């Protein structure tokens, strides 16, 4: 009996060491500490009244925009030359119907010098060249290089790329801008609408959000404009 009692006391001590009575309390304390350290930094806890300018977003890729605008200029010159050539060099050469057979290619059946074809070709070429250049330039001017929260936290400065490699800056109040999508949901680009501007400003998601929570608390909010 004494041996059994001694063995049972040893077993109880071993169990107590392996599973202490207050282990549940310890686990709860650790979980509370972890939970509090994660959840205290929300957009409601961030002080947006910054004492100096803070970079919220940064995307450095000047070579891409330089090459894209060079391509746009080359395309513009090509299509403009094609349009001028169509207006000035195409001559009216009526097609001899007696020479047309079933094997004659379709382009030999058309008189490109006829007014309707010459004018259409020239106008289309100039529109394509000018349109492609305009679209690429507008895309460049709306691509954000830096997004800066100004001192005091009431204004945002957009620093965008330009077709000729310089920076373009624009400062707007926070209430005049609206983020169209959540930062965590965007995959390719994050659009931001600015009041009285026709196109959205685009944040490339390959860039770096220097202060994500501060961004979500200021520029990343959805506002009705």
Q: Is the pLDDT of residue 3 over 60?
A: no
Q: Is the pLDDT of residue 42 over 80?
A: no
pLDDT tens-place string over residues 83-96: 998 888 877 666 65
The Cα–Cα gap between 212 and 209 comes to 5
pTM across the whole model: 0.70
Q: Is the pLDDT of residue 34 over 70?
A: no
Note whether 201 and 158 are within 8 A (CB).
yes
The mean pLDDT of 50-63, rounded to a whole number, is: 94
- pLDDT of 12 reads 55
Q: Which of 144, 140, 89, 86 is nearest to 118 (CA)?
A: 86
Q: Is the pLDDT of residue 113 over 90?
A: no
Note whether 59 and 157 are within 8 A (CB).
no
Q: Is the pLDDT of residue 196 over 50?
A: yes
The mean pLDDT of 170-186, rounded to a whole number, is: 93
pLDDT tens-place string over residues 15-30: 444 444 444 444 344 3
% of the chain surpassing 90 pLDDT: 56
Q: Is the pLDDT of residue 6 over 60?
A: no
- pLDDT of 39 reads 41
pLDDT tens-place string over residues 125-177: 999 999 999 999 999 999 999 999 999 999 999 999 999 888 999 999 999 99
Strand partners, 26: none
Q: Is the pLDDT of residue 37 over 50?
A: no
% of the chain surpassing 70 pLDDT: 70
- pLDDT of 86 reads 85
The Cα–Cα gap between 203 and 85 comes to 40
Angle at 214 between CA 161 and CA 147, to 5 degrees: 10
The DSSP code sequence of 30-66 is HHHHHHHHHHSSSTTT-----SS-EEEEE---HHHHH
Higher-confidence position of 120 and 29: 120
């Amino acid at each position: 009996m004494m041996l059994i009692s001694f063995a049972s006391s040893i077993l109880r001590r071993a169990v107590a060491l392996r599973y202490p009575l207050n282990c549940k309390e310890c686990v709860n304390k650790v979980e509370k500490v972890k939970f509090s350290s994660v959840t205290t930094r929300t957009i409601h806890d961030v002080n947006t009244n910054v004492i100096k300018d803070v970079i919220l977003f940064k995307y450095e890729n000047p070579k891409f925009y330089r090459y894209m605008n060079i391509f746009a200029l080359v395309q513009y010159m090509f299509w403009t030359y094609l349009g001028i050539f169509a207006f000035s060099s195409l001559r009216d050469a009526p097609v001899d119907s007696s020479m047309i057979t079933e094997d004659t290619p379709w382009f030999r059946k058309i008189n490109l010098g006829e007014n309707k074809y010459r004018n259409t070709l020239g106008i289309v070429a100039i529109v394509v060249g000018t349109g492609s250049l305009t679209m690429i330039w507008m895309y460049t001017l709306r691509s954000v290089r830096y997004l800066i929260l100004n001192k005091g936290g009431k204004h945002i400065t957009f620093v965008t790329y330009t077709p000729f490699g310089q920076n373009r800056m624009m400062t707007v109040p926070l209430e005049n801008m609206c983020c169209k999508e959540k930062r965590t949901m965007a995959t390719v680009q994050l659009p931001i609408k600015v009041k009285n501007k026709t196109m959205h400003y685009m944040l490339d998601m390959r860039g770096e959000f220097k202060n994500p929570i501060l961004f979500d608390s200021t520029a990343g909010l959805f506002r009705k404009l």
